[in-house]
Amino acid sequence: MTVTGDGGKRPHRFGTHLVLVMLLVTLPVIGLISALDYQVVEGALIAEDGLLREQTERSVMQSIHLVDAGMKLFDNTLNSEMQEGFGPFIAEYERAGRDPGAMDLSRVQKEIGGDIDLYIINASGAIEYTTYPPDLGLDFRGFPSFYDRITEIRLGDAFVADRILTEPASGRLRKYAYMPSPDHRYLFELGLICSAIETDRFDPQYQTLKEDLMRLNPALEEIRIFDCYGRLVNVTDSEGPTDPTVINSVALAVFEEKEGRTMTDPATGRLTRYIFVDLSTPDYPSDTSRVVELIYTPAPLDARLTEMWFTHVLVAIFASLIACCIAFPASRRITRPVQEIVDDVNAIARGDLEHPIRTSAGAEFTRLEKSIGAMIDSLKGNIERLRASEEMTREYSTRLSDLVRERTADLEESSQAAALYLDIMVHDINNANAIAIGYTQFLIDALEGERQEEARKMLSRLEQSSGIIGSIATLREARESGAALTRVDLDRIIRTQVANHPAIRIRYEGHPVAVLADDLLSEVFTNLIGNAEKFAGPGGCIAVRVEE
């Protein structure tokens, strides 16, 4: 085809369009199949990654439970030693007359022997006396569950051994035990410092667990374990001592809520899982539960997804090339008959509506020839109808303009006649009213008593009639004048009208205000004050207020 489209751009050949259509059909299908298959593979890989995380978390919980069970066995071997230490402790309390302030705790500490410290906890849950100054004044009410448990022990009569725990002040390992005072006013506590050998035995050696889990799950980047205070547990030989003042707020919140938490870093895509491992038992006051932090990196999954994506892209490209190799020869074979009628269509497009369409082989092209012929005939008829309609519209427009001018002239003539009649009527009525007012005034002066009062009422009605006629004249003048609005001092106009009505009391406390109005504004206030005066009656008062 040689016809140019809008903007002078040469249109593409029908064969090109056919190739594009074939490619637009096949390529999206290939892409859709590849995308759907990739989504299936992606979903499977993500689900597999999720199952692996769940298995990792179950393994962590099982391993910590097994390690805790082993530590309990070692923990219980120190219970008898701790229970024997309460004998001298209670004896000193009795010797001091059950006054903890009079007790010699240092002497009792030496008598018991070993690396052991003594604590006296009052009924409020605070350490009131101790041989270990850093813990003096420590208030356990900040740990409600632990405070409730030691209160229960204080009110009871039994010796209760606790687990080996990390000391809050220094981070050292201690074995704690509790015994109530005979009068149940205080709770005695012993804290045994674990020796280096005992510490090595207590160390759960989680490094092996960490290495095993990382081999099991390549996405696992880091494992950290926290205690009930949100402090990192020093659980590996390779890590340095843990700073007990560093608190992980998230781990502490997970411990308090007893529920796990999942956090995602949008920048790196890392997934951080906090798992609560419940190790609490009613046999021990302290809760040795742990919070495990597992940090997963998306790198392994992203690498597998990227590999699968490249594979699907290569397959889609290869399939697309095959589709192109098939589309080009197929389009040339299909468009060969179409090329035979392109010249005829171009001739018709240039305006030669009488040009015939040559017949090509194929029933479809025969129907196309007939359809184009019918379209041309219909186009000719439409053109004739449009021309006739345009001529009729032009004629109607001319007639309508003449009719509008005639009606406008008639309306202006009627308006002028009505204005003339109104002027004559107003003039005659005013003359009649003036004569009647004069005679009525004469009657008022001549009559007396009731007749004089009736004459006054008659004069009032005549003046009211004159006022109405004056208002009509003023309204007509306002409509005909079309005066422009100017700045007017509203305060001056109001005060002038107030001065013109001395017969009635008018209250006005205004200030200068400029408004846009015409010359008839004073007439407005004359009518307003006049009507108010008429209906206010004798002794009435009129209030005028201006607001911006």
Tabulate helix, strand, coil % of the chain (nearest 5): 60, 15, 25
Q: Is 161 exposed, middle or buried (0-12, 13-18, 19+ CB in 10 A)?
A: buried
CB-based contacts of 394-398 (< 8 A; 24+ apart in sequence): none
Q: Which of 113, 138, 112 is nearest to 125 (CA)?
A: 138
Task: Give helix then strand counts, H and E, for the chain.
Answer: 13, 13
Q: Indicate the helix (H) or strand (E) that contains 391.
A: helix 363-446
Q: So what CATH class is 483-548? A: alpha beta
Task: Give residue 187's pLDDT.
Answer: 93
DSSP-derived secondary structure letter, 211: H
pLDDT of residue 239: 43
Residue 235 in tokens? 């659980």
Q: What is the pLDDT of residue 454?
A: 78
Q: What is the pLDDT of residue 1?
A: 42
Find residue 543's DSSP bridge partners: 507
Phi/psi at 531 (5° precision): -65, -40
Print pLDDT tens along the chain (548 aa): 444 445 555 666 766 777 778 778 888 888 888 888 888 888 888 888 888 888 888 888 888 888 778 777 777 888 888 888 899 999 999 999 999 999 999 999 888 887 888 999 999 999 999 998 888 888 888 888 888 899 999 999 889 988 887 776 666 778 889 999 999 999 999 988 876 445 555 555 566 777 777 888 888 888 888 887 787 775 443 344 455 557 788 888 888 888 888 888 898 888 999 989 888 877 788 778 888 888 988 888 888 888 889 888 888 888 888 878 887 777 776 766 666 677 777 777 776 767 777 666 667 667 777 777 777 777 777 777 887 888 888 777 788 777 877 777 777 777 777 667 777 777 777 777 778 777 777 778 777 778 777 777 777 667 767 766 766 666 666 666 655 678 887 778 888 877 777 777 788 877 788 887 776 677 777 777 777 777 777 777 888 888 77
CB atoms under 10 Å from CB of 534, counted, come to 13
For 361, which DSSP code?
Answer: S
Give the strand order in the sheet containing 261-264. Answer: 220-226, 290-296, 271-277, 261-264
**C-alpha atoms less than 13 angstroms from C-alpha of 340 in its C-beta half-sphere:** 14
pLDDT of residue 236: 41
Q: Residue 85: its pLDDT value, please?
A: 86
pTM as predicted? 0.50
What are the boundaries of each domain within the chain?
378-482, 483-548
Calpha distance 377→387 (Å, rounded): 16
Query: 514: phi > 0 → left, psi -120 to 50 → alpha, else beta; which?
Result: beta
Are β-strands 116-121 and 541-544 bridged in parallel, bridged antiparallel, or unpaired? unpaired
What tokens appear for 334 in the block? 């299909």
